Amino acid sequence: MIASPTGGGLVVEVQGVLWSLPRQGGTAAALTSPELEPARLAWSPDGARIAVCGYRGGGFHVWTMDPDGSRLRQLTSGPWDDRGVAWSPDGSRIAFASERGGDPVAGSAYRIWTVDVRSGELVRLTGDPGVEDYDPTWCPDGERLVFVRADASGGRTLASVPADGGPVSVVRTVDSGTLVGPAVSADGRVAYVHVGGVDAFPAHAAGAALVVDGEPVTDGEDVSPLPPCWTADGELWYVADGQVKVRRPSTAAAPERVPFSAELDVPRPTYGRKRYDFDSTEPRQVRGIHLPVLSPDGRSVAFAALNALWVLPIGGRPRRLLQARPTRYVQMPSWAPDGRSVLYSYDGGEDGLIAVHRHWLDTGRDEVLAPGGRLNPVLSPDGTALACQDSTGNLLVRDLATGAEKTLVAPLGGNGLPGRPSWSPDGRFLAFCDRNRLNQRFREGYNIIRVVDTATGRWTAHQPMPHASLSDRGNGGPVWSPDGSAMAFVMESALWVMPVRPDGAPAGDPRRITDEAADHPSWSGDSRTLLYESSGRLRLVDRDGSGRRAVRVPLTYHRRLPSKSDITRVHAGRLWDGTGEAVHHDVDIVIRGNRVVAVEPHRTGRSGDELVDASGSTVIPGLWDSHTHPWQYTYGGRQTSLMLAYGVTTTVSLGGFAHEGVRIRESAAAARMAAPRLFATGELIDGSRVGYSMGRAHRTPDGVRRTLHRAVALDHDFVKTYVRASARVMRQAAHTAHRELGVLSGSHLLSPGVNVGQDLTTHLQATQRSEYGRACSPTGHSYQDVLETYRGGAFRIIVTPFTALPLLGADPALAEDPRVTHLMAPWDAAHVQRLAATPPPPAALRAISEETALYRDILAEGGVLAVGTDAPLTPTGLHLHLGLRALHHHGGLSAAEALRTATATPAELFGVADDLGTLEPGKLADLTAIDGDPFQNFDDLVRTSWVMRDGIIHRRDDLVAAFPTGLAQRGDHTDWLDVSRQLRREPCCAQHEFPH
C-alpha cells in the first residue's frame, strides 16, 4: 500500500486489484482490472502519477497511471521481468529490479535498474556476481538507493548504491530470515520488514516484524511482506494482521488501524457439466497412445497403451509384445538402430525398480540391459552403448559389452526428469531437453536443448529462438535426424525442425512444420519423414511439412465390470454411508455388477450371492485424493498400487503428461492396471518459462490455442493453468474447460483466478509469480479477504495440508507398515522413516493448527473444500491419511466432516455425485474397508484392508505381496534418502512460501 505524498488518500492492493480509499478509511473504489495484476506500488513525489509493477500480458513490467486509475502507460517491455518500483525524489526516474541484460540460456540475476520516465532510457546500477539485488528505494536526497541483496543464504543484507551506479556498500545485515521492502524516511531512517526464519520444516516463518534502523517497532503483529511507506511528517504506513495500519516510530503509541470495505463484482461461470458413462462396456477406440516411436525403416511404430508394449506395422494391426502385470508399468519404447529389437523401461523385477529391457522381435527373447532404476533408454548408432537416465535424471552411458556405466551430467534443476536423450549420428554427442534456472529468486526457466560430448562430459546449451522454451520435458525432443543435419522438437505445441551443425549447435532458424497440436516426434532412418502424435492420433509428415498423412491404430478397449447378473453382499460391521454423521451397524451392502442396489440389515445371503465378510470392519465410501500427479515415469506401478492400498478408489490428476493421463485412465477402466479411477488432465498450462517437466510452455496465442484444442480432443477432466500463465490465458483456459468440456478449471492463484472465471484453487497457497502469495502470510495466517472469497462455495478450494507431514513423528509405527517398507518407492520410504523418527516440534504443530483453522472456517461459512495431497510430492496414499488426521485432530472437524472432504465433497465438486461419494442404492460400488473404527479412534482410518472399485476388490495384502523386496532387504547400499532429496529439489509447495 502507498500513501499520497501530498496528504491525500491511500492506494492499496487487495487480491490483485488496486483500490483508492480516504486517509481515514471507509469505502474503497477499484482503480484497475484484474488483468493488470499489480504487485508493487510507488507514488510520484508530486502525487500526480503512480508507478506499479504489473503482470499484464505475461511478464512483470513497470507501468504508470493517474491516481484515479486512468492513463495507464507501460514504461518497460520485453521478455525480462521488472519488479519492485520506486520513484526518484525529483520525479524523473523510476528504480526497479530486473533480470534484463543477462543471458536467457546461461541465466540472469536480478540487478537494480532505473528507467527515465520521459525518454524510457534504461540504466543498470548494480552487477556484482553471485548475488541478487531487488526491492530498491531512494534516499531522500536522490543521491543513493537502498535495496535488498541476497546471496546463497538468502536476502539478509541491506545495501546501497549511488544513483548513477558505482560501488555497493552494506547498510545492515541479519543472521537469519529475510529482509523485505526497505523504505527511507525524509530524515534518513530506514524501515523494512524482517521475516523470521523457519523453526522447523514444514512450519511457517517464526514471525514478521516492522523494523526501523535495526530496531523492531512492532510486537506480535503479523506484518505482511510489503514495503512500508513513509510520509513527509514521519508517519509509517504498513499492512499487518490483514489490516492497513499507521504508526509513528518515534513514539510508543499503538498503531492506528484504518478500516475500509471493498466490493468487487465477480460473476461466477455457469455451464453444463460433463456427463460420464461409468456403465458401458462397449468397445472404445484407444486414445491413450503413449510415446510412439517410428522404426528405422519407417514401416512400423512401437508404443505403449493399455499398460502394454505394442508394435504396429503401418497399415496393419498392432502386435502386443508385452502385457505388464497390473501392479507394474511398461513405458519408454525405442528402436535399436538395426530395427531388430525394441528397448523399453519396465518395473517388472522383484525389486520393483525400473529397468531397461530389450525385446528381440524375431525370437521374442527379452533381456535386461540396465537394472536399478534406468529410464528413457536409447541405443547408440552403432548399438554398443546405451544412453539412459537414473531416477534423479542423471544422464548415463553404459557400455553393453562390459556393463561399465558412467555419469555424464546431472540435470540443471529439479521438478522432474529431463527429456529423452538423442544420439548424434557419429555417436559422440547426446542431445536432450533440460530446464535452466534464470536466477535464484524464482525457480522458473526455459526448456532448452542441452548437448553433451560423451567423450569429455562437456556440454553446451541452446534455445531455438531467444526466450523460447521447448513445450515440455516429456518426450517432445530434441530428436537428432539420423543424417545429423537437423533436430526435431515440439515448441508452442507444434512440430518444428531446425538445422544443426555436427556438434548440435543451431545452423539456422527453426521451421514450424505443423499447425496442429504435436507431441512425441521421431525420425525415419532416411531422415526424410517424421512421426508425431496429435491429440491421440498418429501422423507422418515429410521433414519440410508436406505430405501429412494419418497412421491408423486399430486398437480398442472396453471397461471391465462385473456382470450385471453377479450379486455381491458385503456384510459390514459398521457402515458410514457418507450422507451424514450416523454410523450404521451390522448391515449388508448389496451390489449388482458395479452398482449398489440396497443397503439393508444383515441377513444370510441367498444362494449364489458372493459374500464378503467385513463384519469386524468399518466400511466407508471409497476415498478420493483430489490432487495428484501421475509420475509413473519415476514411480512405475507403485503409485497407483499404493493409492489402492491406502483406501483410495478415485484420484484426480491436477497436472501430468496429457497422453499418459489418458493412457492411465483407459488402462484403469480396462483393469489393465491396479489403479484408482483417474480424472485426467494434461500438462500445467504455463507461460514462456516453466518449472516442472510436465509444465507446458507458451509464448504465443497460437501455442495456447493448440494446447487447449488438444485438451478437448483428449477429453480432459480438468484444465489447470500454472504460475506464469497470464490472466488472459487463465480466462481462455477456463472458457475452454467450461464451454467445450464441461469441466472445472483452476490454478494456484486465488487472484486473478477468481476474477477470470476459474472455479477453484488447487492449494491454499503454493508457488506464486509475485514475491508473495495472496492467500496467507509468511507466518501462515489468512485473513478476511481470503475467507470471503471462499465463503458460500461459489469459488472452491482443494486443500493439500503439507503441514501434516510431521504427524508421522507422532505415530512412528506408520513407517514400519509394509505399505511403506515394501510397496512405497525406496526413496519415499526412507523419507517417511526419517520423518517418523522425530516427534513433531511445537512450531510444526502450531503450523498445522493455523492451516486447518482456516479450513474449518471455510466450511463453517458454507465453502466447498476437498482434500488432496499433491502426491507423489508427498508420500503417496499415506499423506491423505495425515491430512485427514490434521483436519480432525487439529482442525476440530468431526470424523464425518473430515471424511466428507475425501468422499462426498469431491464427488459433488467434479460433477459425479449421482454416481460416487456416498454408499446409497444406485451409486457405484466404490468401498473402503477399515480394520477398526475411525469413529471411535480416527487413526484407525489408515488400517485399510481392501477397497472395491467398480465392484472389483483389491486387497491390501495382495498389493504389498506384488513387491516382495522391502527396504531393509535391498542390500544395494544406495543412499535412498539422498535420492529423495534430489527428487525434491526446488519444491513447489514448501510451507514457508516466501522466496529469498
Strand-pairing partners, residue 461, are 450
**What are the residues whose beta carbons fall under 8 Å from the beta carbon of 705, sequence distance 6 or more?**
none
Rounded distance between C-alpha atoms, residue 585 and residue 616, angstroms:
11
Pairing of strands 243-247, 422-423: unpaired
| The pLDDT of residue 773 | 85
Q: Residue 437 corresponds to which amino acid? A: R
Contact 145, 125 (CB under 8 A): yes
| The pLDDT of residue 233 | 92
| The pLDDT of residue 8 | 84
For residue 327, give the C-alpha cell.
Answer: 501392479
DSSP string, 637-681: THHHHHHHHTTEEEEEESS--HHHHHHHHHHHHTTSS---EEE--
Rounded distance between C-alpha atoms, residue 604 and residue 571, angstroms:
9
Rounded distance between C-alpha atoms, residue 834 and residue 836, angstroms:
5
Contact 560, 669 (CB under 8 A): yes
E strand segments, 55-177: 61-65, 73-74, 82-87, 93-98, 111-116, 122-124, 132-138, 144-151, 154-162, 169-173
Cα distances (angstroms) measured from residue 532 to each of 3, 488, 737: 57, 10, 25
Cα distances (angstroms) measured from residue 191 to each of 28, 85, 95, 701: 27, 16, 18, 43
Rounded distance between C-alpha atoms, residue 112 and residue 98, angstroms:
6
* Residue 552: how many other CB atoms lie within 10 Å: 12
For residue 353, give the C-alpha cell.
Answer: 525398480
- Nearest CA among 208, 203, 227 for reference residue 777: 208
Pairing of strands 395-399, 405-409: antiparallel
Pairing of strands 486-491, 479-480: antiparallel
- Nearest CA among 35, 136, 147 for reference residue 87: 136
Contact 806, 202 (CB under 8 A): yes
Q: Which helix (H) or strand (E) holds 522?
A: strand 519-523
651: phi then psi, degrees, rounded to nearest 5 = -125, 155
Average confidence (pLDDT) per 10 residues, the chain, 996 residues: 92 94 95 93 96 96 97 96 97 97 94 97 96 98 97 95 97 96 97 86 84 95 96 95 94 93 91 97 97 98 98 98 98 98 95 95 96 96 97 97 96 93 98 95 95 97 96 96 98 98 98 98 98 98 97 98 95 98 97 97 83 97 98 96 98 97 98 98 97 96 98 98 96 98 97 96 92 90 95 97 96 97 95 96 93 97 97 96 98 98 98 98 98 98 98 97 77 84 74 31
- Nearest CA among 661, 547, 536, 63 for reference residue 286: 536
Q: Residue 378 corresponds to which amino acid? A: V
Q: At what angle do helices 727-736 and 701-713 cross, to 10 degrees?
A: 20
The pTM for the full model equals 0.96
Rounded distance between C-alpha atoms, residue 433 and residue 657, angstroms:
15
Rounded distance between C-alpha atoms, residue 657 and residue 669, angstroms:
18
Q: Residue 884 corresponds to which amino acid? A: L
| The pLDDT of residue 970 | 65
| The pLDDT of residue 992 | 30
Q: Residue 715 corresponds to which amino acid? A: D
- 755 backbone φψ class: left, alpha, beta (φ>0; ψ -120 to 50): alpha
